[in-house]
């Protein structure tokens, strides 16, 4: 659309003006072409920077969550942190697609407090995707526990082991004020477990 109109202007003008018009048009084209390429790239870069900033903020929250979980000893500890970390309508989606409210998941969290205490918990973010209402984070939760094999399930009775369990989740986050709160957690696939070589109890 631009070039036919420009061509008519050249034919109507003098030869000198036609040459000038063609040079001006070429300068306009050579300037506009790089801008046309750069503009989307700048937009992509800005979005990328936003995603990077959000991932850094969320990773900080995951690290706080992991550190706090190591200090949970009572159901009240879990309740207190959940109220700060999650929205009131938080829910968990299992691998079968069934939705579980916090009231149901709280019972499981309370039961986990009776299991061998975790030695470490890590929740590195694998990917962050910005959404209209917030963001979605893909994370892998890895929990390491020290266990004593009293029943000999893994070999010699009384041997001590380090059990590492990893589970992938898709977490949904929404902004609340100047911060973030987790709105849901969906488990992706089954958990994987790895058992180290046993050690003698006497060591």
C-beta of residue 155 within 8 angstroms of C-beta of residue 62 = no
Q: Give the chain's radius of gyration (CA, Å).
A: 29
pLDDT digits (tens, 9 = 90+) for 151-195: 888 888 888 999 999 999 999 999 998 899 999 999 999 999 999
Q: How many CA atoms lie within 13 A of 144 on its CB side?
A: 8
| φ/ψ bin of 199: left (φ > 0), alpha (ψ from -120 to 50), beta (otherwise) | beta
Query: Which domains does the chain carry?
Result: 34-195 (3.10.450.50)
Phi first, then psi: what are they for 200, rounded to 5°? Answer: -75, 145
pTM for the predicted model, two decimal places? 0.71
pLDDT given at position 41: 34
pLDDT given at position 156: 87
pLDDT given at position 49: 54
pLDDT digits (tens, 9 = 90+) for 11-54: 333 443 444 444 444 444 343 433 343 333 333 433 455 899 99
State the Cα–Cα distance between residues 201 and 203, nearest whole angstrom.
Answer: 6
Cα 42 to Cα 36, 132, 201: the distances in Å are 10, 20, 60
């Amino acid at each position: 659309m631009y070039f036919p109109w420009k061509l008519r202007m050249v034919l109507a003008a003098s030869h000198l003006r036609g040459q000038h018009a063609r040079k001006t048009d070429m300068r306009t084209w050579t300037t506009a072409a790089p801008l046309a390429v750069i503009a989307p790239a700048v937009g992509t870069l800005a979005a990328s920077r936003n995603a990077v900033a959000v991932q850094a903020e969320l990773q900080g929250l995951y690290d706080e969550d992991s550190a706090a979980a190591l200090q949970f000893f009572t159901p009240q500890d879990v309740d207190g942190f959940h109220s700060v970390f999650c929205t009131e309508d938080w829910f968990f989606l299992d691998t079968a697609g069934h939705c579980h409210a916090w009231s149901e998941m709280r019972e499981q969290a309370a039961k986990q407090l009776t299991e061998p205490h975790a030695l470490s918990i890590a929740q590195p973010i694998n990917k962050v995707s910005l959404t209209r209402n917030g963001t979605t984070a893909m994370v892998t939760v890895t929990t390491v526990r020290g266990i004593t094999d009293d029943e000999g399930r893994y070999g010699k009775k009384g041997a001590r082991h380090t059990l590492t369990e990893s589970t992938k989740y898709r977490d949904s986050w929404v902004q609340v004020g100047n911060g973030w709160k987790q709105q849901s957690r969906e488990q992706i696939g089954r958990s994987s477990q790895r058992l180290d070589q046993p050690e003698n109890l006497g060591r």
